Amino acid sequence: MVGLSLGEKHFIQGGIDQNLRSDGRKRDAYRPISIETGVIPQANGSARIRIGATEVIASVKAELGRPNALQPDKGKVAIFVDCSPVAEPMFEGRGGEELSTELSVALQRCLLGGKSGAGAGIDLSSLIVAEGKICWDLYIDGLVISSDGNLLDALGAAIKAALSNTGIPRVQVAAGASGDEQPEVDISDEEFLQFDTSGVPVIVTLTKVGRHYIVDATSEEESQMSSAVSVSISRKGHICGLSKRGSAGLHPSVISDMISVARHISEQLINKLDSEISAAEADEDEM
């Protein structure tokens, strides 16, 4: 928890009212963003992202599994977040566990459309190897290294970059299996399929402080918020998921306006992430 004096609180809120935040940004501006890919060699894909002083890592591990009986034509994705006590003293013990769960659930809702795994943002049908029998299970882990606000957006961006970095082995399925019999598979050590991230959304969180809402809030700004709405938005502008934090209620018209602003900001964010991911992968290829 960020402890601020009354004067500091007035300074933060006054700057937001005047569209000049304490670090010089406007209400709709992000801090500098940088991305590295391939940071965990043992994973199928990984990425580190820094947004200002917030730093997170996402990794993707792919394992063969069996599709859910209710969704035989879809693979499965599980998202877990770990908040390191090194990042923030309040993450020690129960505080970190509660935030980890909150972030995991929010990412599931924003990227997958909820616990059902309806595949709102990640195409689960692309993970099928043999319908009803074999699929890829993706285990996505997020680790908070340094926390200075806007963790959900940072984790969402890191997951998008890690998925872009993910190579899934090509699988050959042997013919002849019948009924419920599991077919034999041959997993290639040399051929990999690049995961298609064209439909993976970005997450834009709008944090309401006083009468205004801002993007990419710092920890100090978040300590002054009344509520925050996180919207996941695809490249085509489709809303894939929504999550709300804070005890203050929001009128439907305010939420509608926030979604409209988030959709506009998402275009800039997607372009920025595309540029950073391409540069990171080029650097990785040269190493």
Percent pLDDT > 70 in the chain is: 93
Q: Alpha carbon of 82 to those of 57, 79, 223, 268, 286: distances in Å?
A: 10, 10, 21, 28, 31
pLDDT tens track for 87-116: 777 777 776 888 899 999 999 888 887 554
Cβ(231)–Cβ(167) under 8 Å? no
Rounded CA gap, 186 and 243, in Å?
A: 41
Nearest CA among 42, 44, 286, 31 for reference residue 157: 31
Provide the pLDDT for residue 104: 93
Question: Is 184 contained in some domain?
Answer: yes
Amino acid of residue 124? L
Domain count, the chain: 1
Rounded CA gap, 105 and 119, in Å?
A: 15
246 pLDDT band (50/70/90 cuts)? confident
Question: Is 42 contained in some domain?
Answer: yes
Token pair of 20, please? 């000049």
Question: Is 2 contained in some domain?
Answer: no
CATH of the domain at 191: 3.30.230.70
Q: Which domain holds residue 138?
A: 10-286
pLDDT tens track for 169-207: 888 887 766 666 677 878 878 888 888 888 889 999 999
Question: Is 3 contained in some domain?
Answer: no
Question: Is 154 contained in some domain?
Answer: yes
Report field, pTM of the whole predicted structure over 0.85: yes
Rounded CA gap, 63 and 168, in Å?
A: 9
